[in-house]
Structure 1
Amino acid sequence: MKKSKVCIMLSTYNGAKYIDEQIESLLAQSGVEVWINIRDDGSSDRTVQKVSEYAMSFPDKIRVIEGENMGVIGSFFELMRQTEPVYDFYAFCDQDDVWKADKLSRAVAELQLRQSDLPLMYCSSTQMVDQYLNNLNVWPKLPPNPLSVYNALVENCCVGCTMVINSITFERVTATIPSDQSQVIMHDWWIYLFVSAFGEVVFDEEPTILYRQHQGNVLGGSTEDWLVKWKNRWHRFANGKNHFILSKQASLFLQLYGEQLTAEQHSDIQLFIKQLERLWIQRAIYAFKMPFYRHNYLDNLVLKLIYVLKKV
């Protein structure tokens, strides 16, 4: 049986400490043919030297792009732009994790069970580990509610470094990458939003990667207890860091894809944006009956609260 061709898109930035373990785990993937496109986002350590050595050892499998610093969102979108649309599936990868050997074959098998002419995306739980790869906990858990656009507009429950997308998703998202990415919260959230609106999202509760937690993480899962978690959330909110990010991303999504949405989707997203301009009592009435939801009960209440406060 012919193996599926998978392109792994890896963005690096000052990741020399752990990059060898990550690349070795990518090369050890079983059951699929793997190609690795690496874009370095302006590293100042030995990252470029290390990945270039791997590219010299595997010239038919690994390509390195040295770029200027754009940040994580811009770097992954640029990787998509510079990746040829010739593969069966595409995967996103961080620089400091370790993938289980069957990570890609498991994802491909799940996606091949679905309707192939739809945008498809696979994501999974992760085995969170410390910097020495000692197990911490499994995160995130299987979401209790549907992975629909009504969740994706207000919450991202898909970890980017576990995501695998089919060729239709890759080509359609790459063709419409926003020119102004300041309103995109994260590249993986944007893709989850796209696929949830137009296709199907598959969540695998079996952890497929060792998700390393350390001080150098750009973003990552949380091993904090609930009190610390909510204290940090409140601090970010009080400092205005998360104000308006959901409504801005929703407006951009509606601008780019509005004509492709169903009438119901278009109407619901438009109402989510427009009701923010109403009086607070009207916002409150809408917030407690709106179709958009987060999976966790308390997170959902917070969503309604910040909507009423006009900070969503």
Structure 2
Amino acid sequence: MSDTVQILMSTYNGEKYIDEQIKSLLNQHNVDLRIMIRDDGSSDETVKRISSFANASSIPISVHQGDNVGVVKSFFSLIQAVSLECDYYAFCDQDDVWESRKLARAIELISSEKEGIPVVYCSATNMVNEQLSHLKNWPERPRRQLSMYNALVENVCVGCTMVMNREAMKLIKENIPKHLGEIIMHDWWIYLCVSTFGKVLFDEQSTILYRQHSSNVLGGENVGVISKWRRRFKRFRNGQNYYILSQQAEEYLEVYSDLLDDVRFNDIKEFVEKCKSNIFQRIAYSLTSPFYRQSKIDNLIYKIIFIAGKV
């Protein structure tokens, strides 16, 4: 008997590419598939196209229309609505193309891990343009351990590559954030949760065509190093990313305080407290903080922003 996999997809004005994506989902090999789609208030033909697939497919496709609440709240609505009856769960964007072996490969790697613990699989992507021509592979394999101490300050898991076992979904579903406005992204939150209480797997092999186009809500950066850092500096100068790490950390501490061991609880609590301390305390803490980003330059930038009191 094949493993049962529940795909969770959020859509918004995605009529241009949605057909290709759904066809690639229906073409997944060696899995027993179910698809749950929440439309986030589309004004185009997205719902009509999805409904056409749902009516014609032998694979169960449920379609839920909702108000436009944004990608984070939309995905958490799906998490809250899903049952815990399936073996595995996967997140899906509306404009990519999955290789037919995507889910089977993720399941193979997850099932090789110790049973009974939350496990999340994520991978590199084959970043492509609108015509599906290769741009680059992204992201690179993480250089340091995938742990809570990385996940609190950096996300290395691309949401549309994520596949998790039932234990991981149970962990997330039973501990929904109280203030979703404090969550940076659903995939970042899941990386943080599972890296604390289970295991995160990163696969260097890509099984997804990750489409980049002008309408992307979020996506990888297909730009040079100088342009990338110019964009980041501009966002920082404009205050777009002020306090997002500390706000998410506070929410995480509130939601999981009863489950965290003393060491992790105290480490996160100290991070939150030092974010609000004076500059001399922030400088001292930045030199001994257990939290880290993957690359040396990103880690340095994180410390500088922490000292500036804008984390």
2:179–2:251 CA contact under 8 A, matched in 1? no
Which whole-Å CA distance do the structure 1 matches of 2:41 and 2:176 have between them? 21
Deviations 1:113-143 (A, max 9, x none): 1122111100000000000000000000110
Structure 1 residue 258 corresponds to structure 2 residue 257: yes
In the other structure, the counterpart of 1:150 is 149
- Work out whether residues 11 and 38 of structure 2, in 8 Å CA contact, stay in contact via their aligned partners in 1: yes
- Structure 1's consecutive aligned runs of 4 or more residues displaced over 4 angstroms after TM superposition are none
Equivalent positions of 1:78-93 (< 5 A) are 78-93=77-92
- Measured against aligned partners, the alpha-carbon deviations of 1:150-193 in whole angstroms (never above 9, x if no partner) come to 00000000000000011111122112212321100000000000
Contact kept in structure 1, 2:178 and 2:255, CA below 8 Å: no
Where structure 2 has 5 or more consecutive residues not aligned to the other structure, the ranges are none
Matched with 2:175 is 176
**Residue 134 of structure 1 aligns to which amino acid in structure 2?**
S
What TM-score, normalized by structure 2, do the two folds share?
0.98
For each residue in 1:29-65, what CA deviation from the matched residue of structure 2 results, as whole angstroms up to 9, or x when unmatched?
0111111111110000000000000000126521111
1:181-227 residue CA offsets vs partner (Å, 9 max, x unmatched): 11000000000000000000000000110000000000000111011
Q: After superposition, where does 1:49-198 map in structure 2 within 5 Å?
A: 49-58=48-57, 60-198=59-197
Deviates further, 53-62 or 76-85: 53-62
How many pairs are equivalent?
A: 311
Q: Counterpart in 2 of 1:8?
A: 7
Q: Structure 1's 25 and 60: CA in aligned 2 closer, same or farther, altered over 3 A?
A: closer
Q: Which amino acid is the alignment partner of residue 242 of structure 1?
A: N
C-alpha RMSD of matched pairs (Å): 0.9
Deviation at 1:278, TM superposition (A): 2.6
- Cα distance in 2 for partners of 1:276, 1:93 equals 34
Note the C-alpha offset of 1:302.
0.7
Distance change (3 Å), C-alpha of 1:93 and 1:301 = same
- For 2:178 and 2:303, how far apart are their aligned partners in 1? 30
Equivalent-residue separation in structure 2 for 1:278 and 1:186 (angstroms): 26
Secondary structure at 1:116 match in 2: coil
Residues of 1 paired with 2:171 and 2:270: CA distance?
A: 26
Provide the identity percentage.
48
